[in-house]
Amino acid sequence: MTGTLTFAATLFVAGPERHRGHVFGGVILLVVAVVIVVLLVQRFRNRKPIAEGSPTALSHSTSQAHGNGNGNVATVTVSALTLDTPPPSGRYTLIDLARSEWTKMRTVRSTMWTIVVTVALGLGVSAIATAETRANWSTMSPSSIHSFDPISLSLIGTFIAQFAIGVLGVLVVSAEYSTGTVRAVFCAAPHRRSVLLAKILVFTVVAVVVAEFVSFASFLLGQSLLSSPAIHATLATPGALGAVVGCGLYISALGLLGLGLAMIIRHSAAAISTFVGILLILPILVQALPNSIAVDVRRFMPDRIGADMIKANGSNVFSPWVGFLILVGYVVAANVIGAILLTRRDA
Amino acid sequence: MIEAEGLTKHYGTKVAVDNLSFSVRPGVVTGFLGPNGSGKSTTMRMIMGLDYPTRGQVKVNGKSFYDAHWPLREVGALLEARAIHPGRSARAHLLMLAQTSRLPKRRVDDLLELVGLSAVADQRAGRFSLGMGQRLGIAAALLGDPGVLLFDEPVNGLDPDGIRWVRHLLKGLASDGRTVFVSSHLMSEMALTADEVIIIGRGHLIEQTSIDGLLSRSSMQSVRVRSPQIDALRVALEELGATTDSEDDGSLTVRGVDEAAIGDLAGSRGIVLHELSPQTASLEEAFMELTEGSLEYRGAELSEAPLTDGTPS
Ligand SMILES: Nc1ncnc2c1ncn2[C@@H]1O[C@H](COP(=O)(O)OP(=O)(O)OP(=O)(O)O)[C@@H](O)[C@H]1O
Ligand SMILES: [Mg+2]
C-alpha cells in the first residue's frame, strides 16, 4: 500500500502544473480506497467457512462406568485436567496483566490493519504533499517560498494517521465490550483498574513505536522528495528533531485519547464518532463563536496543538511542549474518567 | 463453597435478584434452576464480581472474589458461551486468560485437547459453532484447575454427545471435591446431573433442596382413582382430610392419603373402584408447580389461544 502511495506521489512529480486541489482530491480518493480495501479484506476473511475438523474425541481422559441413582452414567476422571504446578507466591501482578494485554493485541487482525493504515496514510500523504510542492516549486511566489516550512509539510500525513491510530485506541477497548471478552478477562483478573493500567501501558508502547516510526519515515521520505532547488531540512536543522519526535508523541497521545473515550463510551461506533467529532467537527463549531472567544478556545483544541507541535519554530501562543502537556491533560482526564466509570459500572 | 447473603440486584426499577441467600457446598453438583428471566445469570455475574449487588454480598471460599490471589486457580466460570473476539483463535483466547494467573503455556494445549478443540485451535473463533464456543468456554473455566466452578447453561447448543460429556464432566468435578454450580431452566437435565437444586423465581429463592427430597415431597405424590360412584368417594375422602381434583377424563386425583387408605375407605363404604394407581410427579412437574406464579415470561396457554380466528362453538 505504501508502494502505491509513493507511486502516486511520483505521478504528481511528473505533472508539474498540477494544483493543490488535485492533490487533496487524490488524497481523499486514496483514503476511501484504503478503507474499502480493508473492509473488503475483512469481509472476505469473515466469510470463509470454517475448515472441517470439528472436535473429534470429546475427552482423552478415561471415562468409566459408574453406577449412580440416575442410571448408568459414566464419570469423567478429572485427573487429566489437574494442574500440577503449585501457585507462585504472591498474587497476579501488572506484568502478568501486561503480558495478557500484549497477547490480546497481537492476536487480532484489526491491530495489524490499523497499524498498516496508520503507516501507509502517514507516509503516503506526506510523500504526496512534498512531491507535489517540489513539482510546483518553480511557480511558487517569493512570499510563499519565504514562509515555506519543509518540516511541517513532510509531517502533514500526521493529520490523516491520527484517525487510524485513534481507531486502534478505541478498538482495543470497545471490541472487548462488544464481544464479551472483557467479562472473561474480569473473571480471570477482577482488579479492573489494574487491567486498564496494563492495557494503557501496552498500548502506549505500541503507539509510540508506530507513531515515531511514521514520523521519522515521513520526515526522511518527505525531505528526500523536496530535492533542490526546493528548501529542505535534515534532522540537524534547528527544531527539526523536536518537531519529528513531537509529531510521533502527538499521534500516540491521540491513540490514547481514543482509548480513554472508548473506556467512557464502550461502543465502537459511538466512540469513533466522538473521536472524529473532536478533531473535525468541534473546530468548525468553535469557528462559529464570536471571533474574540473563538481564537482563545481554538488554541486549546487537540488538532491545533498538533499543528504547532510539528513546526520547527512555533509562532503560536503555546510552545510545542506546553501544548503537548495540555494534550496529555486531555488524555489523562479521559482515562481517569474511564477508570472511575470502570469500577462503578457493571462489566 | 459459595455463600450468598441477601443478594439483591436492581437494574433501574427492575428487580432482577431479590434478597437471595443460599450456599453451594463442595463435593456435589448444585443445580441453579429458574424460569427465563428469573435472575440466574445475574446472580452468577454477581458471584464473579462482574455486576455489583445493589445490596447483600456473596463470598467464594469465605472471601470476596476480588481478594483472590490467582483468580483462575480459585474460581472458573462459563458465563457467556461466546465471550470471545471472533477474530481471535481459541488458543490465543485461552493463552491471554492463562497469562493473567501466570499459568504455564502448555496448560492451554492440554485444555484444548480435553475439550476436543485441538484441531481448530488456531482458527478464528468467529467461525465456531455454538457448541464449539461452549467447549471453549468450558476450557477457559477449567484453565486454572479451580476448586469452585460456575457454569451458566453449559449444555446450551450442545449435541446429545456433548450434553452427556458435560454431564460426566460436572459429576467428575464434583466427585473430586470441587464446588460445582450449574444453572439451567431444564429440570430434566438437572435431574440427571445435580444432587442439589436451588430453585428461584422472579429473583426470589423458592427452595434449596436435594433432588431426592424434591421427589419425595407429599405434594408430589398423588393417587389416581376411578369409580362409578366417584361423587360418594370424593365426599368420603374429603372427610378423611384428603384433597381431591376431578380430571377431565372422569378420574379423581387424590393427595394427602396413600393408595392403601383409599382402598380401605372404599371397601368400608362399599364403593367399587375401577382404578387405584399411585402417581409420582415428574421433576418437571415439581418444578412447574414450584415456580408457578413466578413466571416472568409466560407463553400463552395453548388451549385458550386458538391459532385461527374460529367462531365459538
Ligand atoms: N444488564 C441488565 N439491564 C437491565 N435488566 C437486566 C440486565 N440483565 C438482566 N436484566 C433483567 O433481569 C432479569 C433477570 O435476568 P437474568 O438474565 O439473570 O435471568 P436468567 O434467569 O438468567 O434467565 P434465562 O433463563 O433466560 O437465562 C430479567 O428480567 C432481565 O431482563
Ligand atoms: Mg441466563
Nearest CA in chain B to A179: B85
The total of other beta-carbon atoms located within 10 Å of residue B27's CB is: 12
- At A9 the pLDDT is 41
Q: Among the residues of A15-149, which ranges form H helices?
A: 20-47, 94-106, 109-135, 142-146
Question: B225 - beta bridge partners?
Answer: B252, B276
Out of A172-186, A214-228, B184-198, pick the least confident: B184-198
Which residue of B9, B43, B61, B102 to mutate against A (max A Cβ within 10 Å)? B102
- Indicate if ligand 1 lies below 6 Å from the C-beta of B107: no
pTM for the model: 0.82
- Is B146 buried (19+), middle (13-18) or exposed (0-12) by CB count in 10 A? buried
Pick from B77, B92, B107: which is nearest to A83 by CB?
B107
Q: Are B29 and B176 in contact (CB under 8 A)?
A: no
Tell me, rounded to whole angstroms, the distance of Cα A292 from its chain centroid.
Answer: 34
- At A69 the pLDDT is 34
- Indicate if ligand 1 lies below 6 Å from the C-beta of B291: no
Window A:52-111, CB contacts with B under 8 Å? 53-61, 63, 66, 68-71, 73-78, 80-83, 85, 87-88, 90-92, 96-97, 99-101, 103-104, 107-110
Pick from B104, B113, B123: which is nearest to A51 by CB?
B123
- At A312 the pLDDT is 72
pLDDT tens sequence across B56-70? 999 999 999 999 999
B42 CA to centre of ligand 1 in angstroms: 6
Nearest CA in chain A to B127: A50
- At B30 the pLDDT is 97
Which residue of A38, A42, A76 to mutate against B (max B Cβ within 10 Å)? A76
Average pLDDT, chain A: 81
pLDDT class for A296, splitting at 50, 70, 90? confident
- At A167 the pLDDT is 94
Tell me, rounded to whole angstroms, the distance of Cα A118 from its chain centroid.
Answer: 7
- Cβ-Cβ contacts under 8 Å between A and B: the total is 189
Minimum CA distance residue for ligand 1 atom 6: B11
- Indicate if ligand 1 lies below 6 Å from the C-beta of B16: yes
B297 CA to centre of ligand 2 in angstroms: 13
Strand B179-184, strand B29-33: pairing: parallel
Asked if B145 lies within 8 A of A175 by C-beta distance, the reply is: no
Which single residue is written with the C-alpha cell 423458592?
A: B206
pLDDT at A303 over 70: yes
Asked if A87 lies within 8 A of B127 by C-beta distance, the reply is: no
B157 CA to centre of ligand 1 in angstroms: 19
Asked if A180 lies within 8 A of B82 by C-beta distance, the reply is: yes
- Is A65 buried (19+), middle (13-18) or exposed (0-12) by CB count in 10 A? exposed
pLDDT at A301 over 80: yes
Specify the DSSP class assigned to residue A51. Answer: P
Ligand 2 ion local residues (Cβ < 5 A): B 41
Q: Are B251 and B228 in contact (CB under 8 A)?
A: no
Asked if A108 lies within 8 A of B85 by C-beta distance, the reply is: yes
Nearest CA in chain B to A72: B192
Asked if A53 lies within 8 A of B120 by C-beta distance, the reply is: yes
Which residues in chain B touch residue A193, judged by CB atoms under 8 angstroms apart? none
**Torsion angle (degrees, nearest 10) of CA B89, B95, B98, B102:** -170
Out of A202-206, A313-317, B44-48, pick the least confident: A313-317
Q: Which ligand is nearest to the CA of B42?
A: 1
| DSSP H or E run through A278 | none
Which residues in chain B touch residue A347, judged by CB atoms under 8 angstroms apart? 45, 50-51
- Indicate if ligand 1 lies below 6 Å from the C-beta of B38: yes
- At B220 the pLDDT is 67
Which atom of ligand 1 approaches the CA of A346 most closely? Answer: 1
What's the angle, vertex CA B162, arms to CA B159 and CA B166, rounded to 5?
Answer: 140
- At A299 the pLDDT is 85
Q: Are A122 and A218 in contact (CB under 8 A)?
A: yes
Quick check: A48 contacting B, CB < 8 Å? yes
A186 CA to centre of ligand 2 in angstroms: 18
- At B62 the pLDDT is 93
- At A166 the pLDDT is 95
Please state the domain extents for chain A. 17-38+92-344
User: Rounded distance, CA A181 to CA B303, Å?
Assistant: 44
A65 CA to centre of ligand 2 in angstroms: 32
Q: Rounded to a whole number, what is the distance in Å from the CA of A187 to chain B's nearest CA? A: 6
pLDDT tens sequence across A14-67? 333 334 444 555 555 566 666 666 666 555 554 444 443 333 344 434 333 333
Q: Which residues of chain B, if any, have pLDDT below 50?
A: 304-306, 309-313
Tell me, rounded to whole angstroms, the distance of Cα A311 from its chain centroid.
Answer: 22
B211 CA to centre of ligand 2 in angstroms: 21
Window A:313-332, CB contacts with B under 8 Å? none
